[in-house]
Structure 1
Amino acid sequence: MTPPAVPAALHPLVAAFLGDRDAVRAALHRFGSPLHLVFPQVFEANLAALRAVSDAGAARYRICYAHKVNNSAAFVRTAAGAGIAVDVSSVQELRSALAAGFPPDRIEVTGPKGGGLLRAALAAGVTVNADNLWELEQLAELATTNVAVLLRVSGFAGSATSRFGVDLSEVDRAFDLLVRHRERLRFLGVAFHLDTAATAERVLAVGDCLDLIERAYARDLAPTVLDVGGGLRQVFTADAANYDAYDAALRAGLLGHGEAMHWGANTFGYHVADGIAHGSPVFHKYANTEPAAAILAELLTAPLPGHGGRALGTVLADNLLEMWLEPGKALVDQAGITVAQVEFVKRAGNGARLVHLDLSRDTVTAADQEVLIDPIVLAERPESGAVGVYFAGHLCLERDLITQRVVRIAGLPAPGDPVVFANTAAYHTDLSAAQAGMHPLPAKVAVLHHDGGFVLCPDGDYRPEAR
C-alpha cells in the first residue's frame, strides 16, 4: 500500500540542517535519541515578519510571545533579547520570563489564575489579564500598589461559547469593580482570544470591544489597549493538494471504498454513517498554506463595520489605542523538530509494517491528535521502494502508535536511522509529553547556523548575546 505523500513544509534553515546528515547524526550522538531541536533564528525570522506587518498596519502595537507553546529557554530568551513582551500563564512561566531578562512592564499574566499565581503576579509587578470577576476582586483585595489590569471578555455574537473571559452581559459588573478600586486597579483596556484565525469573526469581536471601550470612557475609565490575542496559524504542509488527496483516500478507506489506511477502529474524529464520513477530523489545521503574517495583514486592513469602511488598524490608531498581540504558534512556526531513531521494523498480524522508534506518541502530538504530516526518514540505505508504514512508539501500550494512519516513505529504514517529525515546537513537544515506563523526557537543544555550519547548544545554556 503506497498512500499519497503529505510532505512537511520546512524553513530553509531547518531543511539545510537536515540536508547535513553528519550534523544530524552528530546531534544524536552527543545528546541522545529522541531529541527536540529548536531554531532561535527561525523564531527571529517569524518575529520580523509579524513586526513588518504591524509596522505597516498599526500605529502602536505590542507583541507578546505566548510562552505556553514551548518550555524552551532559548525561545523565551530570544524573545526577551528582541525587545518584545511575553505572555505567561503559570508561576513557573513567570519565573522563566523574569530569569530570561524580561522587565515587569513587558510581562503579561493571562489564563485562569488561582490565588498563588495572582500573588506572584502582584509581587513581580506585572500586568494581569483578568479572566473573571473573582480575579478582579482578589486583585483589589490583595494589591498594595496600583496594578495594571486588562479585562478579558467573551460572548461575541457569531463566536463559539468560551470558558474564558467575562461575558459581555457581565462587563458592567467588571467596570463597577474597576471604578470602585481605581486606586489599586489601573485599567489598561480589554482583551479577547478567539479559537479561530477567521478574520471576519475577529473583526466582529473588535467592533464589540470598541463599544466596550466607549462605555469605559463614559465610566471615567481611560483604556488605551485592545488585546486581540493570538491564534494565528502555522504552515505545516508543503503541498496542500497532496494533503487533500490523502484526506480523501483516508475517508474512502474508512468507508471501505479503497484500501484501509487507518489502524483498528480509529476514525480520526469522522463519524461514518450511511456511506458517508461525516464531521471534521481530529487533526490540526495542517492544510493551511497562509502564513501568520498574511493573516495578520488581512486583519489589520479589514474594513471595520460602523466605521466608514476604515481599516481596523486605522481605527485603532485614530482612537489612540495600542494593539496587543499574543502569538505563540506563529513565532515558533517551523522553528522546532523532533528526531528519533529507528529501533526495528516488523510486520503485524494484519500484514501492516511497523517502524518502531525510541519515543512515544505523546512526545510529538498535542492533546493526542493525529500527526498528519509525514515524518522524514533519513535512511542511509533504504530497503525496497516506496511503501506504506505505521510508526510505532516504545511504550508497552496498544495506543502508542505514533501514526495511527499509513505513512508513505521512500523505503524501509534500518535500526539507528533517524526519523524527523517536523514543526513540533508549538505545543507538540511539551503539552502531552509523558514519562510512562520511566522513559526520560527528550533533551532540548538549540541549533544555530554560524559561519556556514551548524552549532549545537543545550537549550538551558543558550544566550542570544553569546552567538
Structure 2
Amino acid sequence: MAVSSASAWPTLPALPDPATSAVMGSGLLEELSYALGGPFHFLLPDAFDSNLQALRSALEEAGVDGAVYFAKKANKAALWVERCAANGAGVDVASVGELREALGHGVRGEHIVVTGPAKDSALLRLAVRQGTLIAVDALDELDALVTTALTGSARPARLVLRCLPPDQPHSRFGMDDAELATAMDRCVQAGDAVHMEGFSFHLSGYAVQPRADLAGQLVDRCLKARVLGLEAVRISIGGGLAVSYTDADSWHTFLAGQHSGHYHAGKTFTAGDFYPYHSPAAGAGALRALLAARPEGHRRSLAELLKDSGIALLMEPGRALLDRAGATVFRIQGVKDRAGYQLLTVDGTSLSLSEQWFNSEFLPDPYLLSRGTDAPAGIHPASVGAATCLESDMLTWRKIPFPRRPRTGDLLVYPNTAGYQMDSNESPFHDLALPPKVVIDRTERPRPRWRLDRHRT
C-alpha cells in the first residue's frame, strides 16, 4: 500500500553520475542478472582514471612532488591494479598475495609500497627482492628487514619508518619518539643494507588539519634524519581522503530527521555510527585543502614546507580513487507486507555492502529498476533483507521510500559501492556464490561493452 507523503521517510540520494545512469538505462543489468544467476558488481574504470588524474593535478598545481599508491584492500578487483600499471601509478599492499597480484598485473616493484604490521619473512624477502618501499611498523620488524637485506639480497631494503600519531596514542600502528630514535640509529648502523627514505603514518578519521599537523612533524623528522646521514626524502600520509556520496543539504537533513521509526525492527543508529556521506573537502579537494593548510608550529603551508625541504608526498587512498567507480546489483526474490512498509528479500547478503558488519548502514538510496511499467507509482517504503537465516543480515534497515512498488524480479542497484563496500567482507555464506565483478569498458555506446574481471579466486 502506497504512503501518501515522502516527507515521513528520510532519503539520501546519491550524487548524479552519468556513467552509472547510462549503464542502468541501457538494459544491460537485466541481462547480466539473468546470465550470472545472482547478485553482481559492475566496475567503471574511467572513473578510477579520472580520480587518479585529479589527485595528480592537485599535486602539480601546488608544485609538490608526490606519488599516488592505490590501497588494494579497498577492492579486490584486478581491474584497479591493471589501471595502476597502465597509468604508472603505485599500489599499496599488505600481504604476499596482494604483492604477487600487483606484480602479476604489471606494476613495477619500485611502484609498490608494503604496509601493514608485523610482516612475515616471506613478504619481507619478496618485497626487498622486488625493490618495493616498505613501511616499517616496529623495531623487531626493522631488525628482520635488515637481516633479510644482509642475507641473500642483491639490493638494499627501501623503507620508511611508521610513526605513532601523538593524538592517537592507543593506536596499534607505528613507533613512538623513543622507538623512532632507536630505529634511525639502527638504520645508520645498517649502512648500505638499507635506504631509509623517510616516514609515514596512519591516522583515523577524515579531518584535514590533524593530517597537515602530523605531516608537518614528519617534514621536521626528515630534516633531523638527514643530519644523521639518512636519505629521508619522502613522507607518506596514508589514506583518509574523504568521499562525498551525497550533497550537503541532503546529508544534514537526513541526520536531523532520522530516528528508530524509520528502520525495520526499530533499529537505532546515531550520527556517529555512519560514515560521513558528505564532506565539504573530498577526494582531490581534500588533498588541495591539506596542501594549503598550515601545520601547527609552522608559518607556511604544507606545500611550501615540502617544496623547500625537497620532500615528496606519498599517499595511499582507496575509497578516493574508487569514487563512482562501481555499483552493486541485486534481484528481489521475495516481498512481504508489514505495517506501513514492505520487507524485501534479495538474492545476496549484506556481506556485499560491508557497513552492516560494522554496526552501521550503507546509506545512499538504492535505485529500483522495475521489470514492468505497470508497477504502482507513489511512495512505497521498504527495507531490504538478505537471503540468509540471520535476523541481523539486512542490506538496508532503513525503510527506503521507493517511487514504485517493488516486486519480485525487480532489480536494486546500490550506487558507488566500489570503495570498501562491495567485497571487503564477502564470503560464500550458505554456499552462495561470491558476486562476480563485471567491467564496463565503454559506457557511451548504446550497448555498453563489458567483460568479467580477471581477479583470481
Aligned equivalent of 1:295: 286
Which runs of structure 2 are paired with 1:21-420 in the superposition (5 Å)? 22-112=27-117, 113-143=119-149, 144=153, 145-156=155-166, 158-159=167-168, 161-237=170-246, 239-251=247-259, 254=260, 260-264=261-265, 266-268=267-269, 270=270, 280-307=271-298, 309-348=299-338, 352-366=341-355, 367-368=357-358, 369-379=360-370, 380-381=372-373, 382-420=375-413
For 1:189, the aligned partner's letter is G
Change (3 A) 1:83 1:427: same
Residues 108-162 of structure 1: CA deviation (Å, up to 9, x unaligned): 1011123332233234332211111111011011223311011111232x44632
Change (3 A) 1:289 1:459: farther
The CA distance in 1 between the partners of 2:116 and 2:16, in whole Å, is: 31
420-429 or 121-130: bigger deviation: 121-130
Report how many residues are paired.
440
The CA distance in 2 between the partners of 1:128 and 1:315, in whole Å, is: 24
The CA distance in 1 between the partners of 2:321 and 2:104, in whole Å, is: 20
Q: Residues 301 and 311 of structure 1 are in contact (CA less than 8 Å); yes or no, is this contact kept in structure 2?
A: yes
The CA distance in 1 between the partners of 2:91 and 2:421, in whole Å, is: 20
For 1:377, the aligned partner's letter is L
TM-score, scaled to structure 2: 0.91
368-377 or 158-167: bigger deviation: 158-167
* SS of the residue 1:285 aligns to: coil
Residues 161-211 of structure 1: CA deviation (Å, up to 9, x unaligned): 321111234211111221111221210111112112212101210222122
Q: Residues 66 and 314 of structure 2 are in contact (CA less than 8 Å); yes or no, is this contact kept in structure 1?
A: yes
* SS of the residue 1:190 aligns to: strand
Q: Residues 128 and 148 of structure 1 are in contact (CA less than 8 Å); yes or no, is this contact kept in structure 2?
A: yes
Q: CA RMSD in A?
A: 2.0
The CA distance in 2 between the partners of 1:405 and 1:168, in whole Å, is: 46
The CA distance in 2 between the partners of 1:230 and 1:189, in whole Å, is: 17
Deviation at 1:448, TM superposition (A): 1.9
The CA distance in 1 between the partners of 2:169 and 2:441, in whole Å, is: 41
Change (3 A) 1:139 1:218: same
Change (3 A) 1:70 1:282: same
The CA distance in 1 between the partners of 2:181 and 2:31, in whole Å, is: 60
The CA distance in 2 between the partners of 1:10 and 1:134, in whole Å, is: 49
* SS of the residue 2:335 aligns to: strand
For 1:458, the aligned partner's letter is L
The CA distance in 2 between the partners of 1:409 and 1:159, in whole Å, is: 42
Deviation at 1:82, TM superposition (A): 0.4
213-222 or 80-89: bigger deviation: 213-222
Aligned equivalent of 1:277: none
Which one of the candidate residues 420, 430, 435 is aligned to 1:437? Answer: 430
Q: Residues 331 and 409 of structure 2 are in contact (CA less than 8 Å); yes or no, is this contact kept in structure 1?
A: yes
Deviation at 1:405, TM superposition (A): 1.9
For 1:296, the aligned partner's letter is L
For 1:180, the aligned partner's letter is Q
Deviation at 1:418, TM superposition (A): 1.1
209-218 or 96-105: bigger deviation: 209-218
The CA distance in 2 between the partners of 1:265 and 1:218, in whole Å, is: 61
Deviation at 1:49, TM superposition (A): 1.0
Change (3 A) 1:182 1:383: farther
* SS of the residue 1:78 aligns to: helix
The CA distance in 1 between the partners of 2:162 and 2:126, in whole Å, is: 19
106-115 or 298-307: bigger deviation: 298-307
For 1:354, the aligned partner's letter is L
Deviation at 1:338, TM superposition (A): 0.3
Q: Residues 146 and 194 of structure 2 are in contact (CA less than 8 Å); yes or no, is this contact kept in structure 1?
A: yes
Percent pairwise identity:
31
Change (3 A) 1:160 1:338: farther
For 1:148, the aligned partner's letter is R
Q: Residues 90 and 111 of structure 2 are in contact (CA less than 8 Å); yes or no, is this contact kept in structure 1?
A: yes
Which runs of structure 2 are paired with 1:1-16 in the superposition (5 Å)? 2=6, 3-16=9-22
Q: Residues 11 and 42 of structure 1 are in contact (CA less than 8 Å); yes or no, is this contact kept in structure 2?
A: no
TM-score, scaled to structure 1: 0.89
Q: Which runs of 5+ in 1 are unaligned?
A: 255-259, 271-279, 463-467
Deviation at 1:249, TM superposition (A): 2.6
Aligned equivalent of 1:274: none
Q: Residues 346 and 353 of structure 1 are in contact (CA less than 8 Å); yes or no, is this contact kept in structure 2?
A: yes
Deviation at 1:305, TM superposition (A): 4.2
Q: Which runs of 5+ in 2 are unaligned?
A: none
Aligned equivalent of 1:276: none
* SS of the residue 1:235 aligns to: coil
Change (3 A) 1:451 1:384: closer
Q: Residues 27 and 456 of structure 1 are in contact (CA less than 8 Å); yes or no, is this contact kept in structure 2?
A: no
The CA distance in 1 between the partners of 2:329 and 2:407, in whole Å, is: 15
Deviation at 1:285, TM superposition (A): 1.2
For 2:453, the aligned partner's letter is D
Deviation at 1:451, TM superposition (A): 5.9
For 2:279, the aligned partner's letter is N
Aligned equivalent of 2:449: 455
The CA distance in 1 between the partners of 2:278 and 2:301, in whole Å, is: 28
* SS of the residue 2:264 aligns to: coil
* SS of the residue 1:390 aligns to: strand
The CA distance in 2 between the partners of 1:282 and 1:17, in whole Å, is: 32
The CA distance in 2 between the partners of 1:171 and 1:210, in whole Å, is: 14
* SS of the residue 2:24 aligns to: helix
Change (3 A) 1:451 1:207: closer
